[in-house]
Amino acid sequence: MDDISNIVEDKFAAMVMNAPVSILEMDDHGHIIFLNRQARTLLTALEPSFGDKTNIHHLLDALAPEVMHDIRAFTGGEGLIMNDIRKFSFTSAGLPITRHFKVTVTRMQSACILALEDVTIVLEKEMALRQATVDKAIAQGKSEIAADVLHDIGNAVVGFGSYITRIRRAMEGGETNNLNNLAGFFSDRQQEMARAIGEARAAAAVAMLENLAQARKATQEEIQRSITEQLGIITHIQELLNIQRQYVVGGDTVEKRAVNLHSIIDDCLSMLYASLEKRSIKITAGIQAECPIVQGHRTKLMQVFMNILKNSMEAIAPDAAEKQISIRLEQKGPLLELRIRDTGQGFDEDTGSKLFDRGFTTKSSGTGLGLHNCQVILENHGATITLTSDGPGKGSCTTIAFKM
């Protein structure tokens, strides 16, 4: 019977000695009575962090004082003191390290059994999984909101387009032709009118009708041109909405394609034409006849250029003496460089250093995301963006450089 008991004790001792968890026994003063192999390895790693490696109290006071506090505060004779996950911060090879251990402390007679299980990797995986779940939910929520917004914008654009089309049809009526016919009728009967109301009055009436017919024709032609431009802008917006819907549904998976920056700039200026004209801002453009092609996302680059141009427009005060935006696109060695210079308010050095910081804005209603997002998009295209100014009141210059 004693032999069997000895065999069982030896097996239990071997199991404890080779357990994958650090197990140690200490007396009331913290002196080590027993260590298994895993505990010896752990203490060797922690040795630089505490002086007396034979006293566990010193270790716990240095690395996990809340554990030592619970041990000292335990007033029962025997029983479980702690079974919780605690953080240990220490230094190894001169580097600060933080690990999480499941700490189990049990009081047995005049000694304490301390078990430490490193659960850092498990916790990190759980946290990563939770964060991934949260991120997925946030992304899904954003996608649903974006889809709803795009749907509403699309409906508004379609409605706007239908009203523009109705105006075009109304303008294509015969009113102008009728006015021309009336002017011709009075011209053919000018002599008869002269006998009735006098030659001067008859000539004035005919001239007035002819001028009115010509003015009406010129006005109609101008309205027709504006309608054509508006319908073209609507088409561009619908194309942008279609592309953005693809991003929302399937993410940003559209491959980069060959794009012509000259064409993108032209489209942006077409969409901003009405605002530029309303603000009386003059646009001057110098673009090489044969503009090199770059690889990129047309919609995202249009988003960047639109943002930069709008910033330049808004920087120019309504009562400014000079209202001008100049655009230069040219190849300089291995770079294709776009410069957008304005005669706006400019900025000082301190402001310039923060312009691309996320959340920073100089506008009362700004979000501080525009320039930051532009920088991110351009970096994804292997391009750089800088924004400079000679100071307040001296305008600014945005430089975007693409690698060829």
User: What secondary structure letter does DSSP report for 291?
Assistant: P
Q: Are residues 197 and 236 in the same domain?
A: yes
Domain count, the chain: 3
**Domain finish residue from 64, 89, 118:** 118
Tokens 């996950």, located at residue: 85
Q: How many CB atoms lie within 10 A of CB 226?
A: 14
Q: What is the mean predicted confidence (pLDDT) over 307-320?
A: 91
CB 340 within 8 A of CB 313: no
We report the CATH number of the domain holding residue 80 as 3.30.450.20
Q: Are residues 206 and 160 in the same domain?
A: yes
In sequence order, what are the beta bridge partners of 341?
326, 397
CA atoms within 13 A on the CB side of 328: 12
Structural domain span for residue 150? 124-250
Q: How many CB atoms lie within 10 A of CB 40?
A: 14
Q: In angstroms, rounded to a whole number, what is the distance separating the alpha carbons of residues 59 and 112? A: 15
Q: Are residues 374 and 244 in the same domain?
A: no
**Domain finish residue from 202, 232, 250:** 250
Q: Are residues 107 and 25 in the same domain?
A: yes
Please tell me the pTM assigned to this model.
0.43
pLDDT of residue 339: 94
CB 22 within 8 A of CB 44: no
Residues 35-89 have pLDDT tens digits of 889 888 888 777 655 555 677 888 888 778 888 888 888 887 788 988 998 888 7
Return the biggest CA–CA distance within the chain. Answer: 150
Q: What is the mean predicted confidence (pLDDT) over 158-182?
A: 72
In sequence order, what are the beta bridge partners of 335?
332, 403
Q: In angstroms, rounded to a whole number, what is the distance separating the alpha carbons of residues 298 and 300? A: 6
Residues 98-142 have pLDDT tens digits of 888 899 999 887 788 889 898 989 888 888 888 888 777 777 767
**Domain finish residue from 118, 151, 185:** 118
Q: How far is CA 306 from the centre of its chain?
A: 15
pLDDT of residue 308: 93
